[in-house]
Amino acid sequence: MFPIKATSNKQPIIIVGGGLAGSLLAWSMKQKGINFHLYADKKACASRVAAGLINPVTGQRFVLAEHTPDMLTFAKGFYRNIEQAIDIHCFFEKPMKRLFLSQKEQENCKKRLKNDRYAKFLKNELPPQTLNAEHSGITQTQTAWLDTNTLLDALHQYFEQHGCITYASFLEAESKQHIIYCEGYHMQNNPLFSWLPLQAAHGEIITCKSAKILPDYIINKGKWLLPVSEHDCRIGATYETDMETPTVQEVSKQQLLEFAEGAFTEPHSLEVTKHQAGIRPTTLDKQPFIGTHPKFSNIHIFNGFGSRGCLMIPWYANQLMQQQISQEANIQRYAQLCV
């Protein structure tokens, strides 16, 4: 069980990793009065590249996972509280125009529209004529994006002011101090947890300037276009499971540009201003890795949130505060692999 107790006298709980998982877990502990210290080194961090999209209904079958509505409600309140507490704006609710890739996708969506559970997430309306919708489309509601860089910069500054962050790699102490590893895909190089079946997924995104005014909604057609201002947008993402180092590739940039220009009925003359790559810490069963090491009671992990981290992390951080870890996320499901 995680050592989550409100105390300022005992040794701090060590959190290793300054990305979204480690930083949001640290914030949750701070709000509960739990003594911690965050180690944020300069390793490549997928959270700094991530688009921060929050999309409750995903995939070609338009899946609304079991806990997603509750996760979404919790995440909204969680990010709004951070914004108010440290005076930033990082959470933006924005609708999504989902353009069907095929007739099959359209049929899948029609089935969901008959299900009351999907009523507040899918709005049956035709895409605007400015979009290239060969197979029609739908509006997804309750979607949003999180400005992860603004959030992480502000949180780290807050932790600096409170003396609970160090910008360095953590060298494991010989004591029985409790340590929670939140290392993203770098987990695969940690001998304590390299036995967990991480499926690292390389992804690239580009930031572009548009000659025309962009619409104020997210566009999704296999890939996505996220307007962040009238003339600036982020476009992503590629997905490769056979790359171990974040690498920008010209072929990926061209694929993303082709998708973005093809989403509109008229050219927007997009100019690439930034090209980034990161590696998502995804898992084989699409569930995160949370829990205590099978052999060491003071060693823990909070990782594996993949591309849905902005939605899932607040929910699971709160589970830790309540000392309750969902069975599907608990690493005990893989304990037999730890030798």
Residue 63 DSSP SS3: strand
**Which residue ranges form the domains of the chain, and what is each CATH number?**
1-92+145-196+285-339 (3.50.50.60), 199-283 (3.30.9.10)
pTM, full prediction: 0.95
What pLDDT was estimated at residue 44? Answer: 75
pLDDT given for residue 215 in this prediction: 97
Residue 217 C-beta-side C-alpha neighbours within 13 Å: 18
pLDDT value of position 339: 79
For the segment 108-146, what is each residue's pLDDT rounded down to a tens digit? 999 999 999 999 999 999 999 999 999 999 999 999 999
The structure tokens listed for 72 are 């979404």
What was the pLDDT predicted at 332?
96
Cα four-point dihedral sign 305, 307, 312, 317: positive
Are the beta carbons of 53 and 145 closer than 8 angstroms? Answer: yes
- Do you find a cis peptide bond into 237, omega within 30 degrees of 0? yes
pLDDT tens column, 286-296: 999 999 999 99
Q: Which two structure tokens, joined as six digits, stand for 3?
A: 């050592």
Burial of residue 176, with CB atoms counted within 10 A of its CB: 0-12 exposed, 13-18 middle, 19 or more buried: exposed
Q: What is the pLDDT of residue 304?
A: 97
- Positions of the chain with pLDDT lower than 70, given as ranges: 1-9, 173-175
Burial class (CB in 10 A: 0-12, 13-18, 19+), 294: middle
Task: Name the residue among 228, 229, 85 with its Cα closest to residue 154.
Answer: 85
**CA distances from residue 208 to 13, 234, 250, 274, 323 in whole angstroms, order as listed:** 41, 6, 15, 7, 43
Cα gap 133→162, rounded to integer Å: 51
